């Protein structure tokens, strides 16, 4: 289970970061751009002729390094599991990736679980031998881990670093649009999802007098999340948290079960802290006999629903699925 533990560590680390991660450039030389090897013809999916004419292009990554892409990348190795969704939404798929178990764990990624993707192990320690064998024409890694790889990636292929883009899936998708020459496709998907969220917000206005909570469960752990697509009045569903909820300026906070009882939302959505739907079922089973848990309004009134754990990644597909889940469950009452 080493791969899963690696993912668990990554998710818990994600929870502990209460503001978006930002890389600081002290590696690479701006005057010595990387050059990607020529790739196959431009993928016609979502790519206009005007965009296809934009190659070669120079992309400035999260660490300020210039990476020259001679042609559209075709064999991409993705070392950041939170960005699977962005590639898939643009009609792209990596040939290799770390933490690919999320493909079978996250419902948002279920349509892509049978894609042929080489398993590179965990984000913390990718399998360099397998990466060499894949022979990618581009490697994508999160900026705050780049230095920990000790320059090994750059010996294999050009490397683009990306930010974690906390609460900014639109910005991340736009960056991937630049990388793959699919800027218009990125804008179209952003407009589609934003419109869907806005329409869903209107459908839930009748519940403005109710309170909602998002709780991530672990092994005897409880985290109250301030998930933006749930609570944000402008870009999310605009649902109201309980009056004694956690600090809404933070991503989330660890709380006790008694603390959750004090919040006592009318509706509660739960997910597994480690990204496993099976573990979530186990946690909920264990709580069935807990008197404090059973005293919660949401539990007593059968207003407690599971969310796909992909919500923790904050990607566009996870958000779209999360909104659908919330709307369908709330309106079904």
> 157, 186, 215 — which closes off a domain?
186
Asked if residue 212 and residue 147 are part of one domain, the reply reads: no
10 Å Cβ neighbour count for 201? 20
CATH number where 107 lies = 3.40.50.1980
pLDDT tier at 167 (50, 70, 90 boundaries)? confident
What single string gives the DSSP state of each residue in 45-97?
TT--HHHHTT-SEEEE-TTS-EEEESS---SEEEE-GGGHHHHHHTT---SEE
> 153, 186, 219 — which closes off a domain?
186
The 10s digit of each residue's pLDDT in 261-312 is 999 999 999 999 887 777 889 999 999 999 999 999 999 999 999 999 888 8
Which residues pair with residue 270 across a beta bridge? 215, 306
Q: Beta strand pairing status for 267-272 and 304-306?
A: parallel
Mean pLDDT of 244-254: 89
Asked if residue 179 and residue 212 are part of one domain, the reply reads: no
Asked if residue 269 and residue 123 are part of one domain, the reply reads: no
For residue 1, tell me if it sits in a domain.
no
Asked if residue 322 and residue 221 are part of one domain, the reply reads: yes
For residue 227, tell me if it sits in a domain.
yes
For residue 19, tell me if it sits in a domain.
no
Residues 245 and 228: beta-carbon distance below 8 Å: no
Asked if residue 174 and residue 74 are part of one domain, the reply reads: yes
* pLDDT at res. 192: 98
Asked if residue 221 and residue 181 are part of one domain, the reply reads: no
* pLDDT at res. 219: 86
Question: How many residues are given for the chain?
Answer: 333
Asked if residue 247 and residue 145 are part of one domain, the reply reads: no
* pLDDT at res. 146: 93
Asked if residue 77 and residue 181 are part of one domain, the reply reads: yes
What pTM was estimated for this model as a whole?
0.81
For residue 8, tell me if it sits in a domain.
no
Higher pLDDT, 30 or 92: 92
Residues 313 and 307: beta-carbon distance below 8 Å: no
Please determine, for residue 34, whether its predicted confidence score (pLDDT) is greater than 60: no
Please determine, for residue 45, whether its predicted confidence score (pLDDT) is greater than 80: no
The 10s digit of each residue's pLDDT in 10-24 is 443 444 433 333 333
For residue 14, tell me if it sits in a domain.
no
Asked if residue 46 and residue 170 are part of one domain, the reply reads: yes
Element (H, E) at 161: strand 159-162
Provide the number of structural domains found in the chain: 2
The 10s digit of each residue's pLDDT in 104-133 is 989 999 999 999 999 999 999 999 999 999
For residue 22, tell me if it sits in a domain.
no
Range of the domain at 123: 30-186
The maximal CA–CA distance of the chain, rounded, in angstroms, is 64
Mean pLDDT of 178-190: 97
Asked if residue 223 and residue 181 are part of one domain, the reply reads: no
Asked if residue 181 and residue 211 are part of one domain, the reply reads: no
Asked if residue 178 and residue 34 are part of one domain, the reply reads: yes
* pLDDT at res. 52: 55
For residue 304, tell me if it sits in a domain.
yes
* pLDDT at res. 3: 42
The 10s digit of each residue's pLDDT in 53-97 is 689 999 999 999 999 999 999 999 999 999 999 999 999 999 999
> 155, 186, 217 — which closes off a domain?
186
For residue 119, tell me if it sits in a domain.
yes
């Amino acid at each position: 289970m080493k791969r899963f533990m690696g993912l668990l560590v990554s998710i818990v680390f994600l929870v502990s970061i209460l503001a978006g991660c930002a890389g600081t450039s002290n590696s690479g030389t701006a005057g010595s751009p990387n050059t990607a090897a020529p790739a196959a013809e431009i993928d016609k999916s979502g790519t206009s002729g005007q965009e296809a004419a934009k190659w070669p292009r120079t992309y400035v990554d999260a660490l300020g390094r210039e990476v020259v892409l001679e042609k559209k990348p075709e064999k991409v190795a993705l070392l950041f599991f939170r960005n699977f969704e962005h590639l898939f939404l643009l009609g792209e798929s990596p040939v290799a990736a770390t933490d690919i178990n999320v493909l079978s764990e996250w419902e948002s990624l279920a349509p892509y679980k049978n894609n042929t993707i080489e398993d590179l192990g965990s984000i913390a320690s990718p399998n360099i031998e397998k990466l060499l064998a894949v022979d990618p024409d581009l490697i994508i890694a999160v900026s705050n881990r780049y230095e920990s790889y000790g320059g090994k990636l750059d010996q294999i292929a050009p490397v683009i670093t990306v930010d974690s883009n906390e609460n900014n899936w639109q910005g991340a998708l736009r960056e991937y649009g630049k990388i793959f020459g699919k800027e218009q496709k990125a804008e179209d998907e952003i407009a589609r999802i934003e419109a869907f969220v806005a329409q869903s917000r209107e459908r839930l206005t009748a519940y403005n007098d109710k309170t909602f909570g998002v709780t991530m469960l672990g092994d005897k752990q409880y985290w109250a999340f301030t998930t933006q697509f749930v609570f944000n009045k402008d870009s999310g569903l605009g649902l109201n948290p309980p009056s004694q909820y956690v600090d809404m300026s933070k991503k989330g906070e660890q709380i006790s079960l008694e603390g959750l009882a004090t919040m006592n939302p009318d509706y509660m959505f739960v997910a597994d802290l480690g990204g496993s739907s099976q573990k979530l079922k186990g946690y909920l089973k264990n709580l069935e006999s807990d008197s404090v848990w059973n005293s919660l309004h949401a539990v007593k009134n059968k207003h407690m629903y599971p969310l796909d754990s992909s919500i923790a990644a904050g990607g566009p597909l996870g958000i779209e699925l999360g909104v659908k889940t919330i709307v369908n469950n709330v309106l079904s009452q």
